[in-house]
Homo-oligomer: A and B are copies of this chain.
Amino acid sequence: MISIDDSLKALEAFILASIPLARAMDLRIAGFDGECLRLDAPLKPNINDKGCAFGGSLAAVMTMACWTLVEATLRRRGDDCDVFVADSSIRYLAPVWGDLHAEARLAPGADWSTFFTTLDARGRARGDFTYVVPGDDGKPAASLEARFVAKRRA
């Protein structure tokens, strides 16, 4: 279900070219099926003093994955928007000892049709998203809930 096409490669190149920290983290779009977007990052540049993933890297990867999900969805629709995070809640549940990879998707109860209807009517919309980093035992090692805003460019 997960694939990365030319438009995602272009979005990844845009991210890596315009956000130095994304380059430092070695972020990669691993796939997008229209509903969930997977963003990966190797452990090495994102390690902490204890040898597991740095909390700041986890926060940045999860935030960036949701941003990329919104941006990729809007680009596929032909929408040119500024997308920014409004707020987020993160739970760090277990140390992450390997590479970072997980999937961003709409939060339960949120839907794209409401998001697009609002965007078309007001030039601005907000949506709720979730991101989970799976742990070794199948339980989440970290999770994020975040609200993002898209604002159509003039």
A residues apposed to B, CB below 8 Å = 14-15, 18-22, 24-25, 44-50, 54-57, 59-61, 63-64, 67, 82, 84-92, 95
Q: When the two chains form the complex, which single residue of B14, B50, B60, B90 contacts A57, counting CB atoms closer than 8 Å?
A: B60
> Which chain B positions have C-beta within 8 A of A48?
18-19
**Interchain nearest-CB distance for A74 vs B (Å):** 14
A63 contacts B67, C-beta separation under 8 Å: no
Q: When the two chains form the complex, which single residue of B14, B15, B67 contacts A55, counting CB atoms closer than 8 Å?
A: B67
B60 contacts A47, C-beta separation under 8 Å: no
**Interchain nearest-CB distance for A128 vs B (Å):** 14
Number of copies: 2
A60 contacts B50, C-beta separation under 8 Å: no
Q: When the two chains form the complex, which single residue of B15, B21, B87, B90 contacts A25, counting CB atoms closer than 8 Å?
A: B21
Q: When the two chains form the complex, which single residue of B24, B46, B64, B89 contacts A89, counting CB atoms closer than 8 Å?
A: B89
> Which chain B positions have C-beta within 8 A of A64?
55-56
CA distance A44 to B82 in the complex (A): 20
> Which chain B positions have C-beta within 8 A of A63?
55-56, 59
CA distance A146 to B46 in the complex (A): 20
> Which chain B positions have C-beta within 8 A of A44?
20
B60 contacts A56, C-beta separation under 8 Å: yes
CA distance A99 to B54 in the complex (A): 22
